[in-house]
Amino acid sequence: MESNSVSPMPEQNSQAPMAEFDKTPPTPPEDTLPMEDLPPPPTTVTVQEEKEKEAQAEIHRHYEDENEWSCGSWLEYTVVVVLASVLLLGSLGLTLFWVFQYRGGFAWRENPAKQFNLHPVLMVAGFITFSGFSVLLYRICRCCRRIYVKLLHTVFHALAIPCVAIGFLAVLDSHNLAQPPIPNFYSLHSWIGLVTMGLFAIQFVVGFFSFLILLCCEGATAGFRSALVPIHASFGLTTFMLAIAASVSGLTEKALFSLPDTYSQWIEEGIVINALGVSLIALGILVSFAVRSPTLKAGSKVDVSDRI
Amino acid sequence: MESNSVSPMPEQNSQAPMAEFDKTPPTPPEDTLPMEDLPPPPTTVTVQEEKEKEAQAEIHRHYEDENEWSCGSWLEYTVVVVLASVLLLGSLGLTLFWVFQYRGGFAWRENPAKQFNLHPVLMVAGFITFSGFSVLLYRICRCCRRIYVKLLHTVFHALAIPCVAIGFLAVLDSHNLAQPPIPNFYSLHSWIGLVTMGLFAIQFVVGFFSFLILLCCEGATAGFRSALVPIHASFGLTTFMLAIAASVSGLTEKALFSLPDTYSQWIEEGIVINALGVSLIALGILVSFAVRSPTLKAGSKVDVSDRI
């Protein structure tokens, strides 16, 4: 750090060893030491003994660190978990409400317009609700063993797969069965959606293979798996953000297609669509915060990367 | 960490002290030591001396760390900086191309449709190009003094203000002057845009006051400024992401309003709009990566927070 520059930024890396140093139990000044308690005088304590002492203090400190969790941290944890759960379930609930209240509910094949309604509901269920809970599991499950968290992470993402697949088929079918048929894959929404689905599939396959199948040769693959974690976490969060971008553009499309004259008149359905978009964006901010928060991460059993 | 759990995750915090320990110069085994070079025997090296030696090694190591930057890191730096610059300038260029090639260019007052064209150009210039470069400065300027980087960060954000303000007035005017007038603030795009502008204004005022004005009482405000950095960085990245969400929904709106029948026929303008949306999303991923990358951060003079 330059001497004449003013830094409000904590230089965490460079200060870490000093901070560790500062935390060692303070040694009383030499003249006040009860000499009879110390077989060799303090100036002749061997390096070996000192290192052993430090190592013991280190172990004790880490043990304390793992169990210590301040009131503020618990508050942050509770607020994030409750708010995220409300938004994740609320978004799905709002989508269902929108579709049933204003769009006539579901159908398959016999009514392309109603078949389309499966698209937003299943995509929000798969890409937002299931995937969001799957990501948040690493924050919510603080007391579980890591392998259980991993399995739950896989199960939630596996549940998202049929949702996304049927949601995709629903929109394809509804376009193709419409009279006249509606073209596919021309809009910005569809482009973002395709990229999101591709990234989701790659993430699932690579994650499943690397973090579950490769456990069969645990020791040999530890380095590889460890190196893959930040990449998997970064691409996971990117997929979630892309899903939100796809939702926002999709909701805008649907509002303009379905309410061409009334959207601008502040009708109820328009406000419901906007509220859904806003809650999805709020979710993006909250999940991103939860994944990266050092407070939430500090006490958890699993670290997720710092990179996006 | 639980003994029976399998962790592919690097426990950075807990391993940091060990890593520091490992990096100290290896001590040769006792029997091979050239005794004449060491006044006291190795087992009686005092704790004080050992600590001094370690502190010296520590200083040397940090000095080396600051200057050492591997080939891979330089490659990552170059790729990120070049790609981000191309995308930041390219997005603005593509917006200008779209507006002049397909939308008839600019006007003020006398032609509401052409006045609208100022909106996407100025919003992309302010929220994406200027703000993006402003954020990336903390990665691009590796050799500058921090105060210069801060001032440039402020200047770039200050340049964004008139862009955003005139861009906002342009769309308001074009709506109000249209025959019949077009209502304002009813769409999801406008809601996201308003939140983005509000957050941008708060960030600028708080940042200017805290990181520049408060430097007048440097020592007294260091703690406060230091605590504010992660919050400022998190909200800054959030503002950038919101701007991209607003752009994506805005581009979708404009495509459907201006190309109601031809957008689905893969016309040139539709593809240009989609390409602009895709490049903005790519920018969101890249800037987010650049801000969080430990490699890019490690050698830079300024740390930006790990939180969003």
Q: What are the tens digits of pLDDT across the range B28-80?
A: 343 333 333 334 444 444 556 666 666 565 555 444 445 566 787 889 889 99
Confidence category of residue B139, pLDDT binned at 50, 70, 90? confident
Chain B CB contacts of A226 under 8 Å are: 7-10
A300 near B CB under 8 A: no
Segments making up each domain of chain A, as ranges: 72-298
For residue A95, give every residue at least 6 positions away whose Cβ sits within 8 Å of its Cβ, in sequence order, or none: A120, A121, A124, A276
CB neighbourhood size of B216 (10 A):
8
Question: What is the C-alpha to C-alpha distance for residues A52 and A46, in angstroms, rounded to an integer?
Answer: 10
**Average per-residue pLDDT in chain B?**
81
pLDDT (0 to 100) of residue A84: 96
pLDDT one-digit tens code per residue, A212-267 = 998 888 888 899 999 999 999 999 999 999 999 999 999 999 999 999 999 999 99
Return the amino acid letter for A289: F
Contact between residue B76 and residue B109 where contact means Cβ atoms under 8 Å apart: no
Higher per-residue confidence, B307 vs B87: B87
Interface contact B252-A252, CB threshold 8 A: yes
Interface contact A2-B294, CB threshold 8 A: no
Least confident stretch, A29-33, B137-141, B213-217, B263-267: A29-33
The rounded Cα B271 to chain-centroid distance in angstroms is: 28
B188, B277, B294: residue with CB nearest A273: B188
pLDDT one-digit tens code per residue, B163-194 = 999 999 999 999 999 999 999 999 999 999 99
For residue A227, give every residue at least 6 positions away whose Cβ sits within 8 Å of its Cβ, in sequence order, or none: none
Question: Which string of DSSP letters, residue by residue, matches B88-134?
Answer: HHHHHHHHHHHHHHHS----SSS-HHHHHTHHHHHHIIIIIIIHHHH
Cα distances from A298 to residues A66, A123, A135, B179, in angstroms, run 8, 32, 16, 58
**Range 121-180 of A in CB contact (< 8 A) with B:** 145-147
Confidence category of residue A98, pLDDT binned at 50, 70, 90? very high
B270 near A CB under 8 A: yes
Confidence category of residue A22, pLDDT binned at 50, 70, 90? very low
Confidence category of residue B23, pLDDT binned at 50, 70, 90? very low
Higher per-residue confidence, A146 vs A205: A205
Token pair of B245, please? 């969400």
Pick the CATH number of A72-298 from 3.30.70.20, 1.20.120.1770, 3.60.15.10, 3.90.1150.10: 1.20.120.1770
pLDDT (0 to 100) of residue B57: 56
Residue A43 φ/ψ, nearest 5 degrees? -75, -10
B262 near A CB under 8 A: no
pLDDT (0 to 100) of residue A19: 36
Measure B108 CA to nearest chain A CA, in Å. Answer: 24
Predicted-complex ipTM score: 0.78
* Residue from B281, B291, B300 whose CB has the most chain A CBs within 10 Å, to mutate: B281
**Phi-psi sector, B96: left (phi>0), alpha (psi -120 to 50), beta:** alpha
Contact between residue B47 and residue A45 where contact means Cβ atoms under 8 Å apart: yes
Least confident stretch, B20-29, B80-89, B119-128, B221-230: B20-29
B11, B186, B242: residue with CB nearest A270: B186
Token pair of A18, please? 């000093």
A192, A242, A264: residue with CB nearest B186: A264
Higher per-residue confidence, A89 vs A53: A89
As a CATH number, domain B87-298 is 1.20.120.1770
Measure B220 CA to nearest chain A CA, in Å. Answer: 11
B8 near A CB under 8 A: yes
* Residue from B52, B144, B171, B186 whose CB has the most chain A CBs within 10 Å, to mutate: B186
Contact between residue B249 and residue A249 where contact means Cβ atoms under 8 Å apart: yes
Token pair of B177, please? 């002057």
Contact between residue A186 and residue B270 where contact means Cβ atoms under 8 Å apart: yes
DSSP state of B3: T
Interface contact A6-B215, CB threshold 8 A: yes
Higher per-residue confidence, B281 vs A57: B281
Confidence category of residue B247, pLDDT binned at 50, 70, 90? very high
